[in-house]
Amino acid sequence: MNYHWNWGIFFQTSPDGVHTYLETLLLGTGWTLATALSAWCLALGMGSLVGVIRTTPHLWLVRLGNAYVEVFRNIPLLVQMFLWYFVLPELLPVWAGDWLKQLPDASFYTAVVSLGFYTSARVAEQVRAGILSLARGQGWAALALGLTRTQAYIYVLLPMAYRIILPPLTSEFLNIIKNSAVALTIGLMELTARARAMQEFSFQVFEAFTAATVIYIIINIIVTFGMRWVERRSAVPGFIGAAPAAAATH
């Protein structure tokens, strides 16, 4: 094989003159996590809202929620990112578009918004499935006590629904971390982008990508164990949770 291995490359200075390659990778990891966590907040918020309105008896709200989910699920994430990054500034009034284009870290904000909305559609599916998997009687019992519909969702339905969908929600969180890599196409210097840059400048292809792979695996393991701890802490004694029928797997 003609490839020359050089694992010491990590401690050499990268082209920016300040950081070693290893440090650039870690910086990239920081951006990956920042993007993923910020987008996750948006995804959870919007996704819960849309998931809930799809379970209300108001038909027009349900249709609105369904349309929302269909739009964000049927367009590839990369295309959605391009729409937010390249197309949106052109469709806004000139002053707004220019402001967006001049924004420092524009790729970060775009990535967060794009990733957030994309994932929110999938979260909406989970939340809806979780609520629907609860016995109808729970909603009735809450209403029979005089709680309003909103109170019923907040105090009775959602607490149980979230516990039930913790496993698929964990998957979505892991997905968001992986999907953050797509933002390298709009210039976000997250982990995969840094590994690619390292490969381009140092020609140590496999060292760079191995390091990135290892870091993703470590993040994966930490998140998986973390969520298992959350599951244990939030488990309701004596309750056997029924997992709702599989929403998207990937």
- The amino acid present at 229, given as its one-letter code, is W
Q: Which residues of 39-69 are buried (b: 16+ CB within 10 A; e: fewer)?
A: bbebbbebbbbbbbbbbeeeeeeeeebeebb
Of 4, 59, 60, 146, the residue at the interface with other proteins (CB under 8 A) is 146
Least distance to other proteins, CB of residue 53, Å: 19
204, 211 Cβ separation under 8 angstroms = no
Question: Does residue 182 interact with other proteins by CB under 8 A?
Answer: yes
In angstroms, rounded to a whole number, what is the distance separating the alpha carbons of residues 208 and 135? Answer: 51
Binding mask 86-125 for other proteins (x = CB under 8 A): xx--xx----------------------------------
Cα–Cα distances in angstroms (integers) from residue 184 to residues 83, 96, 188, 211, in the given order:
15, 24, 5, 17
* Cβ-based nearer residue to other proteins, 18 or 246: 246
With CB under 8 A as the contact rule, the residue among 22, 106, 205, 227 that binds other proteins is: 205
What is the CA 213 to chain-centroid distance, rounded? Answer: 19
* Interacting residue with other proteins among 5, 16, 30, 70 (CB under 8 A): 70
Q: What whole-number distance in Å separates Cα of residue 231 and Cα of residue 226? A: 9
Among 49, 132, 163, 202, binds other proteins (CB under 8 A): 163
Smallest separation (angstroms) from other proteins to the CB of 248: 7
| Binding residues among 27-56 for other proteins as defined by CB under 8 A | none
Quick one: which of 74, 95, 104, 233 contacts other proteins (CB under 8 A)? 74
Closest distance to other proteins from the beta carbon of 99 (Å): 17
Among candidate residues 74, 38, 45, the one with its CA nearest the CA of residue 183: 38
Q: Which is nearer to other proteins, 17 or 21 (CB)?
A: 21
Half-sphere exposure of 11 (CA within 13 A, CB side): 3
Specify whether the backbone of 203 is left (phi greater than 0), alpha (psi in -120 to 50) or beta: left
Shortest distance in whole angstroms from residue 210 CB to other proteins? 9
Angle between helices 21-53 and 106-133 (to 10 degrees): 40
For residue 243, the tally of other CB atoms under 10 A from its CB is 13
Check binding of 179 to other proteins (CB under 8 A).
yes
For other proteins, the binding residue among 1, 17, 232, 233 (CB under 8 A) is: 1
Classify residue 20 by its DSSP letter. Answer: B
By CB under 8 A, name the binding residues for other proteins. 1-3, 70-71, 73-80, 82-83, 86-87, 90-91, 135, 137-138, 140-148, 151, 155-156, 159-160, 163, 174, 178-182, 184-185, 192, 195-196, 199, 205-206, 209, 212-213, 216-217, 220, 236-239, 246, 248-250
